[in-house]
Chains A and B, each alone.
Chain A
């Protein structure tokens, strides 16, 4: 990437359908801006996020991955976010071990009523990724040009 061009990170956000996706919708209808670098993938529950999806994202050149779900105790399926939390804690420490800094991965609880939280979380996450710069680990070099 040429140094004079502004770094545009690729960020994948997995949002559960019941809380966080709706929170993102609320951020939208409330016109609470966050950078266009964030692209959301809708999943039924945070527990649907397979570690494989996150590895794949980094492999394909993502600079950050965030998983958003309902607050503890509020998961639409009661316990899904507890599974997600445990799995991600394990995955993230493993990712850090192979050089993907902890700042590039995040789990955040955002309810359907928290449009503001969704927007501030994304602004904050993008800023963090920008400060970390481009992700060079795990990436298949052919994916970035």
Chain B
């Protein structure tokens, strides 16, 4: 029989306001195995933990139940406290009477009754707990960063500067991400390329960083400290070692009609291309869908003009397999498709563009060489209307429910830059709210209004109607003056909502990292563990976790790096001891368990078994504790009931069921 202590936490008034903690203590005192029960204001505090230690020593406790907040919050805290007091940490169970009880119920009687039942279930479980010992696993001192935008670059630089090897996997032909597409950046208006390019160069030159561009993560296995990853290096058709980056091939390539991804489809690129002039690496790729040699077998111009003999039409995809201790996801974002927003005429008029397209239009290396002009006729616009929150903060499923966070600021930036360069152009902004929390952000917005005369109208736009004369009729409302507005514009710019890069779903599945309903990766704790994924060893950097501007992205990228470094600095990790364990007497060696184990943790061995006096050789299952992650799939599959999960055994769970249904 165990000697169990029960500790009921008030959590200030978080629990005590709805659960009669004294009553819980009184009732659970009489539960089988319980020799001690008490309550305290804050069990997780030093004083609370001291109470637990004292009771363990004085009452010789063999198991404890803490009735408190979620085990996801403080299980580790109480396990450590128990361990310091000489108890095996796995003799601790938590009854979650806060998140699962006091916070969701109002009626004190009901909540108290439920708290008692949850405590009983935990007590019943602890009665069957057995001491467990965590094993050890080694840490591969190398990190993988998926995505080579500013987030990924910054994380990689920080990890590499701490002395660890880092690989960046970027799916496009160059690192740089969205920031490389931007012209100037708020709130200082410095040029994006001027601050990004040096970082890209630094990453490429760093002796600890290896960059795989035009590559994707194909398969991930293993676990924290010891991931094995397959990276597909897509065939570039150009030999990276030979190419000197002269660019002659791109000039001479006759296939020049492919819409440029980098310029968001405004303007074309050749079949052999680097996305932009400062691309890193400065080695082109051949887009085989556009290349005449691949499509018709004829051409081969690039191979003829390439002095370095770098063109290789025979090149094949290559799979690189590498081991990592930590993985950082930095897959960033894209703007949403506007197919659900016909009212803005985006698909009907070339003069209705997204803000990201405007970045390319304003950029000296962009499709208009930096001249502000209408894409339909090249004319200089006189009236520009910006529409904010296109697809953001949307209550129906046409768009996104969240605020994209960056649009208020970049719209103010665009408005200001246009007014600065072209004082003859009138700029009107339709907005729902202007949100500018951030250092020097509101000042920035006010400059747009006060110093640059940008006309801000609070209200939404119902329709943008292309007119026969080529102009656009914008129909909106002014909510402050409570009147309809009809405005003729030459260009309309849509501050389009952002969403996580669509590939993130696949990445999340491979990493078993969770994503939320909007496909942003979920952090382990919204406040206290904002850069860690719930999956151990996986960290989050940049917009893949939620909308952010560049300063926030860089700060978070550094934080993710620190967490990864903290992991890589360890030589050994403790493994989860809640692993599967076969009862060799019951096992009939059928292989059912090995077939369902996702980690290949189960093997078979022929062993001499003493079955109640009958000694015979039998094939029995063996679990490799270093590989078993403790899912429990095998335990349910086993037809003989031989496989059980330590810490979540059949008897323990049934004891909980019984306690609840009692």
Which A residues are within 8 Å of any B CB, using their own CB?
10, 12, 17-19, 21-22, 24-25, 27-29, 31-34, 36, 39-45, 47-53, 56-57, 60-62, 70, 73-80, 83, 87, 111-114, 119, 143
Contacts and interface: CB of A to CB of B under 8 A. Distances in A.
A110 B75 CA distance: 22
8 contacts: A10-B660, A36-B105, A43-B648, A45-B633, A48-B653, A74-B512, A76-B535, A77-B633
Contacts of B535: 76
B477 interface: no
Contacts of B381: none
B512 A48 contact: no
A31 B514 contact: no
A56 B104 contact: no
Interface stretch (B133-141, B186-194, B624-632): B624-632
Contact of A19 (B104, B113, B514, B654): B514
Given A48-B631, A56-B658, A39 B114 contact: yes
A136 to B, nearest CB: 14
Contact of A53 (B71, B107, B629, B657): B657
B70 A111 contact: no
B214 interface: no
Nearest to B125: A41
Given A32-B104, A83-B596, A39 B118 contact: yes
A119 B103 CA distance: 12
A96 to B, nearest CB: 20
Contacts of B517: 111, 113-114
Given A28-B70, A44-B648, A62 B104 contact: no
Contact of A79 (B101, B114, B508, B598): B598
B318 interface: no
A33 to B, nearest CB: 5
Contact of A78 (B99, B105, B505, B512): B512
Given A25-B99, A47-B631, A114-B517, 11 more contacts: A10-B660, A21-B72, A34-B104, A40-B100, A41-B657, A41-B660, A52-B654, A53-B657, A62-B657, A83-B636, A111-B516
Given A50-B650, A60-B662, A70 B514 contact: yes
Contacts of A33: 104-106
Interface string B102-141: 0111110011011001100100000000000000000000
For the complex of A and B, the 6 pairs showing the least CB-CB separation, nearest first, are A28-B99, A48-B632, A113-B516, A60-B661, A77-B631, A47-B633
A32 B99 CA distance: 10
B114 A60 contact: no
A47 to B, nearest CB: 4
B357 interface: no
Contacts of A10: 660-661
Interface in B47-68: none
Contacts of A17: 72
Contact of B633 (A28, A29, A56, A83): A83
B290 interface: no
Contacts of A27: 99, 104
Nearest to B221: A78
B104 A28 contact: yes
A28 B98 contact: yes
Contacts of A80: 598, 631-633
A52 B656 CA distance: 13
Contacts of A42: 71
B541 interface: no
Contacts of A34: 104
A61 to B, nearest CB: 5
Interface of B: 70-73, 96, 98-101, 103-107, 110-111, 113-114, 117-118, 121, 505, 508-509, 512, 514-517, 522, 534-535, 578, 596, 598, 629-633, 635-637, 645, 648, 650, 653-654, 656-658, 660-662
Nearest to B632: A48
B103 A24 contact: no
A112 B522 contact: yes
Nearest to B658: A60
B514 A56 contact: no
A17 B512 CA distance: 13
Contacts of B110: 36
B661 A62 contact: yes
Contacts of B508: 74
A63 to B, nearest CB: 9
B80 to A, nearest CB: 19
Contacts of B72: 17, 21-22, 25
B632 A43 contact: yes
B104 A61 contact: no
B578 A44 contact: yes
A39 B637 CA distance: 26
Contacts of B578: 44
A41 B635 CA distance: 17
A21 B648 CA distance: 15
- Residue among B113, B512, B598, B661 with max Cβ neighbours from chain A (10 Å): B661
Contacts of A39: 114, 117-118, 121, 660
Nearest to B578: A44
B512 A77 contact: yes
Nearest to A70: B514
A32 B73 CA distance: 19
B624 to A, nearest CB: 15
Given A77-B598, A111-B516, A29 B662 contact: no
Nearest to A12: B660
Contacts of A29: 99, 103
A74 B509 contact: yes
A87 B631 CA distance: 15
A53 to B, nearest CB: 6
Contact of B635 (A36, A50, A114): A50
A33 B658 CA distance: 25
- Residue among A25, A70, A112, A119 with max Cβ neighbours from chain B (10 Å): A25
B316 to A, nearest CB: 29
Contacts of B534: 18, 22, 76, 112
Nearest to A43: B648
A97 B512 CA distance: 36
B104 A31 contact: yes
A57 B500 CA distance: 42
A72 to B, nearest CB: 10
Given A83-B596, A83-B637, A28 B660 contact: no
B545 to A, nearest CB: 12
B381 to A, nearest CB: 42
Contacts of A112: 514, 516, 522, 534
